[in-house]
Chains A and B, each alone.
Chain A
Amino acid sequence: MGLRGEAAIVGIAELKPERRPQGPFKLPIEQWADLAKRALDDAGISPREVNGICSSSSIREASMFVPATISEYLGTKVNFAEVVDLGGATAAGMVWRAAAAIELGVCDVVVCALPSMPGPQPPQADGRPRGMGFGASSANFGSPQAEFDIPYGNVAQNCSYAMIAQRYAAVYGYDPWAMAKICVDQRTNACANPAAIFYGQPITADDVLASPMIADPLHMLEIVMPVSGGAAVVLAGKERARRAKHRPVWVRGFGEHLEIKTPTYAEDIVKTPVGPAAEMAFAMAGARRSDIDLVSLYDCYTITVLLTLEDAGFCAKGEGAKFIKEHDLTYKGDFPCNTHGGQLSFGQAGLAGGMSHVTEATRQLQQRAGENQVPKADLAFVSGTGGVMSEQAALLLQGD
């Protein structure tokens, strides 16, 4: 079952995260085109060769017919057009869909792009105050969230992740210092990456634990900072990948798992969909956890990293804190994790934040990560998390 590992990531594009974007505003569709061009140039592939596109549903210019809109705008004729709606897992979800389509022979070169810069406002904007929405929570009539969660303030992500952490604390115990170490190690990685939003700003565990409590037990520095940015990858089939500019990064295995939208209704709130997704990815690739050279774990919060380490099988359930304390998670360490700084320190550029886990793993496997380069980087595990541990996608990427 699964992929043969004959589709590869061959090009990447990534905009430097920015708190306040510099330069002229571009429409999301313009950002899409720009990211596609950069990723194709990186691969050394002509736009004429593209015959597949993968997008998120959040292109402001269209609420339906998104791929057709993009295809027309780019002047790209495609046999494979996909919209992926998996929140933070969208990037990983795009990569395996593109790889599967390529292996089926539907297409040969697929661009997956996630623009995440603010765009210009339409001239007739009605001036209503922003911030009236409920983030990823649906306030539509008939939505279970609108009826049973939002009225109680259970909206956005902070409080739900905090409730997962609080339950984890009650079941397995909680080590705030270990959680802070995730931030510290990732910040070390960011301090070696000039593109990271927190480049040149090291932190200590004390800094993390002294930062304001946002929703118990999560401190401010354990929570991602939204930034402006964007990211894209290009995938190609076996033959085309071998003629691309860089070392092909084969998609060897993937897994995806969804159970719930709101953690209140999870079977077990601390047993996440990472488990089945990772299990499928490893089984498909025929790889062991100990074969992995580096991991790119979705890190919207420290608790996300802890649960992913456990549920993906890198340590036993309940032993995540011990694992974090026993290992050096920096690019110099014995368990390199989020070598670009992770979203916690690189920055979370919307859905492109999740794509940064893919682009960084690719950069490492292509041996072009600069100061952050992990000496031996042949096999990487990448995870994507959407919603509140509700949507999970995992990838096993292998350098040629």
Chain B
Amino acid sequence: MTMMEKPLPVPTPTSRPFWEGLRQRKVLLQRCLDCEVYVHYPRSNCPNCLGANLEWREVSGLGTLYTYTIARRPTAPQFQDETPQKIAVVELDEGPRLTTTLVNVDEAAIKVGMRVRPVFEDVQGTEVTLLRYEPA
């Protein structure tokens, strides 16, 4: 049986700078110039004011662990090799949240509210870099 291909992000014209940023070890967020909130995931229009004046800014990528789970069964067949998977939601210091997985941490050490920092993982044989997190 052949290994099922993992689902990878396919950048859109709007989101491309985010993924290119990760490739260069940078976390980029959109900032709305009209209402001054940070936005993630990338959008054409600000989810706070629907304004279309969004600008890319580099941020530290630091944040806190908002919540997590340890998926002890594959959430989809493609993730069989990563199971148990430490799926997490990180709240960035700028406000927005993102989905990620935790790496370099023991199960017992994971605590909601812990400080976390980005880990840039180049996906072999592709142009994609995923944004994972580890304890800061």
A interface residues with partner B (beta carbon < 8 Å): 131-132, 134, 139, 141-142, 144, 146-156, 158-159, 162-167, 169-170, 212-216, 218, 262-265, 269
CA distance A149 to B8 in the complex (A): 10
Partner of B87, one of A139, A141, A144, A154: A154
Q: Establish whether residues B68 and A155, one from each chain, have CB atoms under 8 Å apart when the complex forms.
A: no
- In the complex, chain B residues whose CB is within 8 Å of the CB of A215: 69-73, 75, 87
- In the complex, chain A residues whose CB is within 8 Å of the CB of B69: 159, 162-163, 165-166, 215-216, 218
CA distance A269 to B66 in the complex (A): 9
Q: Establish whether residues A265 and B8, one from each chain, have CB atoms under 8 Å apart when the complex forms.
A: no
Q: B125 interface residue, CB < 8 Å from A? A: no
Q: B82 interface residue, CB < 8 Å from A? A: yes
Show 12 A/B contacts (Cβ-Cβ < 8 Å), sorted by A: A147-B12, A148-B98, A151-B6, A151-B9, A155-B75, A166-B67, A166-B68, A167-B66, A169-B112, A170-B112, A215-B69, A216-B69
Q: Separation in Å of the A344 CB from the closest CB of chain B?
A: 18
CA distance A144 to B18 in the complex (A): 13
Q: Separation in Å of the B33 CB from the closest CB of chain A?
A: 21
A sample of 18 more A-B contacts (CB under 8 A), given A142-B12, A151-B128, A156-B76, is: A131-B77, A146-B7, A151-B8, A151-B9, A152-B87, A153-B75, A153-B76, A155-B75, A159-B87, A163-B67, A163-B69, A167-B67, A169-B112, A215-B71, A218-B69, A262-B99, A269-B67, A269-B89
Given the known interface contacts A134-B7, A216-B69, the answer about A153 and B98 at a Cβ–Cβ threshold of 8 Å is no
- In the complex, chain A residues whose CB is within 8 Å of the CB of B76: 134, 150, 153, 155-156
The 3 closest A-B pairs by CB, nearest first: A170-B112, A162-B69, A167-B67
Given the known interface contacts A147-B12, A269-B67, the answer about A158 and B75 at a Cβ–Cβ threshold of 8 Å is yes
CA distance A164 to B85 in the complex (A): 16
Q: How large is the interface on B (under 10, 10 to 19, 20 to 34, 35 or more residues)?
A: 35 or more
Q: B21 interface residue, CB < 8 Å from A? A: no
Q: Establish whether residues A153 and B79, one from each chain, have CB atoms under 8 Å apart when the complex forms.
A: yes
Q: Would you give the 0/1 interface string for B69-99, flagging 1 where the beta carbon is closer than 8 Å to chain A?
A: 1111111110100100101110000000111
Q: B11 interface residue, CB < 8 Å from A? A: yes
Q: B130 interface residue, CB < 8 Å from A? A: yes
CA distance A214 to B83 in the complex (A): 11
Q: Establish whether residues B100 and A152, one from each chain, have CB atoms under 8 Å apart when the complex forms.
A: yes
Partner of A153, one of B9, B89, B101, B112: B101
- In the complex, chain B residues whose CB is within 8 Å of the CB of A269: 66-67, 89
Q: Establish whether residues B68 and A163, one from each chain, have CB atoms under 8 Å apart when the complex forms.
A: yes
Q: Separation in Å of the B20 CB from the closest CB of chain A?
A: 14
Q: Establish whether residues B72 and A214, one from each chain, have CB atoms under 8 Å apart when the complex forms.
A: yes
CA distance A306 to B132 in the complex (A): 31
Interface-central residue, A132, A141, A159, A213, by most chain B CB under 10 Å: A159
Given the known interface contacts A132-B4, A216-B72, the answer about A152 and B66 at a Cβ–Cβ threshold of 8 Å is no
Q: Name the CB-closest residue of A to B66.
A: A167
Q: Name the CB-closest residue of B to A168.
A: B67
Q: Separation in Å of the B27 CB from the closest CB of chain A?
A: 13
Q: B3 interface residue, CB < 8 Å from A? A: no
Q: Would you give the 0/1 interface string for B35-56, flagging 1 where the beta carbon is closer than 8 Å to chain A?
A: 0000001000000000000000
Partner of B71, one of A146, A149, A153, A265: A153
Q: B109 interface residue, CB < 8 Å from A? A: no
- In the complex, chain A residues whose CB is within 8 Å of the CB of B98: 148, 264
Q: Establish whether residues A166 and B7, one from each chain, have CB atoms under 8 Å apart when the complex forms.
A: no
Q: Establish whether residues A147 and B11, one from each chain, have CB atoms under 8 Å apart when the complex forms.
A: yes
Q: Separation in Å of the B92 CB from the closest CB of chain A?
A: 12
Partner of A148, one of B41, B74, B85, B101: B41
Q: Establish whether residues A159 and B75, one from each chain, have CB atoms under 8 Å apart when the complex forms.
A: yes
CA distance A132 to B76 in the complex (A): 8
Partner of A147, one of B6, B10, B67, B71: B10
- In the complex, chain A residues whose CB is within 8 Å of the CB of B100: 152
Q: Establish whether residues B7 and A139, one from each chain, have CB atoms under 8 Å apart when the complex forms.
A: yes
CA distance A134 to B89 in the complex (A): 19
CA distance A226 to B99 in the complex (A): 27
- In the complex, chain A residues whose CB is within 8 Å of the CB of B12: 141-142, 147
Q: Establish whether residues B99 and A149, one from each chain, have CB atoms under 8 Å apart when the complex forms.
A: yes
Q: Establish whether residues B10 and A153, one from each chain, have CB atoms under 8 Å apart when the complex forms.
A: no
